[in-house]
Amino acid sequence: MTWQEEAGRDLVRSFGERMALFVRGEGSYLWDADDKRYLDFLAGIAVDSLGHAHPAFVEAISTQAATLAHVSNYFATPPQLALAATLKRLAGTGDAGRVYFGNSGAEANEAAFKLARLHGGAERPRILALKDAFHGRTMGTLALTGKPWMQEPFLPMTPGVEFIDTTAEALEAAMDDRVAALFVEPVKGEAGVIDLPEGFLAAAREITERHGALLIIDEIQTGAGRTGEWFAFQHAGITPDAITVAKGIGGGFPIGALITFGAASELFYPGTHGSTFGGNALGTAVAGAVLAEIERAGLVHNAAERGAQLRAAILGIDSELITGCRGRGLLLGVALRHPVAKAVVSAAQEHGLVINAPNDETIRLVPALTIGDVEIDEFIALFTAAVRTVEDALLLETSSEISDRQGAPA
Ligand SMILES: *Cc1c(COP(=O)(O)O)cnc(C)c1O
C-alpha cells in the first residue's frame, strides 16, 4: 500500500489529499520519503519560526523533557513563569498584564471569547468581528469566524456574534454600549493575506474605548515577529485589551496563549477557565527558547528586512500572472491575475518548493524568520519556474480555446 492509500484510508477527510510525505527537515529545507529536497516557504503555516530542527528548539525540548514535562495547573513551574513574563514584556502589557496558556490558536481564542463574555455580562451580549477574518475551527471560534461557508454545516452557532465590514465607518455604525468586544485579525491570513485599511486599528481602539468594549487582536498568525514587529498591533502604536498568540511562538511545539492588558486582566476569577495541558513545563520551556532565539538572533528585524527584500524580488519577476504582493514582513500574499493558485502550488512542489494557496488567487508565503539571501534567491528561481509552468499551461489553454472556437482541428 502506498502512503497516499494509507492516508486516504486512515486519516480524517476534513483535510484534502496530503501533498507529500515528509520525513525530515533542517532550517528552511524539507525532505520527502524519496529523499527529494524542498525549500519550505510555508513553515508549517507560519509555525516553524526558527525553521526545522533548530539547535535551540532541539536543546530546549530535550533538556526540559529530561527535567520536568508536566505537573498540571495546580502548580507553577519555572519555564511557565519565565514565558509569562517574557510575553508580557514583548507585548508591552506592563505589570497589569496576565497570561493564560492553552495548546493552540483556537484555544487561545476560546479563552478570549470567554473573556469577552465575562466583560459583557448581561448588559453587553453583542460581539463584533470582521467579515472574512479567521479565528479558528472549534465551535466558539467558528462563531467568531466571518466565513458563512465554514459555519454552514455546523449551524446553529453560539449566538451574539455579528460581522462587519472592515472599515471605521462600519464599526462606528455597528457599535453601541451593548457590545462586549471587537475581534480583529490584523492581517487576514486565511482570507488571502489581506491588510487592514490604513488607520483601522487606531480607529478601532478609539471607538471600542469610547463604548467600553474590549479590543481583542488575534495575533495567532501575525505574532512572534512575523510582520516585523513582535506583534502586528505594535505597527499601529495602540494598546489593545487582549491579544491571542499561538503558531510561531512554539516554533513547532503546540502552544497558544491569551495575553491581557490592564483591567481586562482581572476578568477571569478562579473556576472560570482552564486546560489540563495548557502552559505545561515542556511547552513553555520550548516557547521560551524559541522567543529567546528570535530575540538573540534579531529575527524580528530580519522578518522586516527580508520581507521587504522578498516583496521587491517577487514584484521584479517578469510575469503576466503576478499582479501584486500584500501583507507585511514575512507574511506575504502574492496576488495572481487568474484563479490558478492551486496549479502554482502543484507546479512549485514539482520544482521542490513548498508554498500554499489560501484561496484561488493568492499564494501565501510564510517562511521561517531565519531566511537570508540564499533562501530568497532560491525561492525566486523556483517560484519563477513554477509560475512559468502555469503561464505556459494557460497559454496552451487559451490557444486551444481559440482554435476550438474557430472550429480548427485539435
Ligand atoms: C491559525 C489561526 C487560528 C487557529 O489556530 P489553531 O492553532 O489552528 O487552532 C486562529 N486565528 C488565526 C488568525 C490563525 O491564523
Which of 188, 247, 328 to mutate to test ligand 1, by most ligand atoms within 8 A of the CB atom?
247
Residue nearest to atom 10 of ligand 1 (CA): 135
Closest among 105, 46, 377 to 225, alpha carbons compared: 46
Closest CA to 195 of 335, 34, 378: 335
pLDDT in tens, 213-223: 999 999 999 99
Q: Is the pLDDT of residue 408 over 70?
A: no
pLDDT tens readout for residues 309-348:
999 999 999 999 999 999 999 999 999 999 999 999 999 9
CB of 185 closer than 6 A to ligand 1? yes
Q: Is a pLDDT exceeding 60 seen at residue 132?
A: yes
CATH 3.90.1150.10 domain span(s) along the chain: 22-53+298-406
Angle between helices 373-405 and 341-351 (to 10 degrees): 130
Q: Does domain 57-296 have CATH number 3.40.640.10?
A: yes
C-alpha cell at 30: 524539507
Cβ atoms 353, 37 nearer than 8 A: no
Which residue owns the Cα nearest ligand 1 atom 11? 135
Radius of gyration of the chain (CA): 22
pLDDT computed for residue 406 by the predictor: 62
- The reported pLDDT for the residue numbered 410 is 43
Q: Does residue 127 register a pLDDT over 70?
A: yes
Q: What does the pLDDT read at residue 16?
A: 87
Sheet containing strand 98-102, strands side by side? 98-102, 256-260, 242-245, 214-218, 179-184, 126-130, 161-164
- How many A from CA of 402 to the centre of ligand 1? 44
Looking at the chain, the domain(s) classified CATH 3.40.640.10 span 57-296
Cβ proximity of 133 and 188 under 8 Å: yes
| Cα distance between residue 391 and residue 386, in whole Å | 9
pLDDT band at 399 (very low <50, low <70, confident <90, very high): confident
At residue 405, the pLDDT reads 61
* Cell numbers given for 327: 501583507
Whether residue 204 has pLDDT greater than 70: yes
| CB of 101 sitting under 6 A from ligand 1 | no
Average pLDDT value for residue range 34-41: 98
Q: What's the gap in Å between 190 CA and the centre of ligand 1?
A: 9
Residue 220 alpha carbon to ligand 1 centre in Å: 6
**pLDDT recorded at residue 313:** 98
Burial 386-404 (b: 16+ CB within 10 A, else e): bbbbbbeebeeeeeeeeee
Q: Which of 216, 198, 220 is nearest to 208 (CA)?
A: 216
Mutate to test the pocket of ligand 1, among 42, 48, 135 (most ligand atoms within 8 A of CB): 135
* Adjacency order of strands within the sheet including 331-336: 322-328, 331-336, 362-365, 356-359
110 lines ligand 1 (CB under 6 A): no
Q: Give strand pairing partners of 362.
A: 335, 359
**Which of 220, 233, 253 most suits a substitution to test ligand 1, by most atoms within 8 Å of the C-beta?**
220
pLDDT tens for 239-292 read 999 999 999 999 999 999 999 999 999 999 999 999 999 999 999 999 999 999
What gap in Å lies between CA 244 and CA 261, rounded to an integer? 12
Distance from the alpha carbon of residue 254 to the mean position of ligand 1, in angstroms: 12
DSSP 93: -
What's the fold here for domain 22-53+298-406?
Aspartate Aminotransferase, domain 1 (3.90.1150)
How do residues 91-110 score in pLDDT, each as one tens digit?
Answer: 999 999 999 999 999 999 99
Nearest atom (ligand 1) to Cα of 104: 7
CA 109 – ligand 1 centroid, Å: 8
Residue 158 has pLDDT above 90, yes or no: yes
Q: Is the CB of 104 under 6 A from ligand 1?
A: yes
What per-residue confidence (pLDDT) applies to 395?
Answer: 86
**Average of per-residue pLDDT across 10-29:** 95
Question: Does ligand 1 have an atom closer than 6 angstroms to the CB of 293?
Answer: no
**Tens of pLDDT along 65-88?**
999 999 999 999 999 999 999 999
Does 257 contact ligand 1 (Cβ within 6 A)? no
> CB of 311 closer than 6 A to ligand 1?
no
The DSSP-derived string for 350-406 is HHTEE-EEEETTEEEE---TT--HHHHHHHHHHHHHHHHHHHHHHHHHHHHHHHHHT
- How far does residue 106's CA lie from ligand 1's centre (Å)? 6
SS3 of 23, please?
strand
- Ligand 1 pocket, residue 188 CB under 6 Å: no
Q: What is the pLDDT of residues 362-398, one digit of tens each?
A: 999 999 999 999 999 999 999 999 999 999 999 888 7
Cβ(329) – ligand 1 distance below 6 Å: no
- Inform me whether the pLDDT recorded for 409 exceeds 80: no
Residue partners of 359: CB distance under 8 A and separation at least 6: 191, 192, 341
pLDDT score, position 398: 79
Instruction: State the chain's mean pLDDT as an integer.
Output: 96
Q: Exposure of 205 by Cβ count < 10 A (0-12 exposed, 13-18 middle, 19+ buried)?
A: buried
Ligand 1 near 221 CB (within 6 A)? yes
* Ligand 1 proximity of 291 Cβ (cutoff 6 Å): no
CB of 220 shorter than 6 A to ligand 1: yes
53-67: average pLDDT: 98
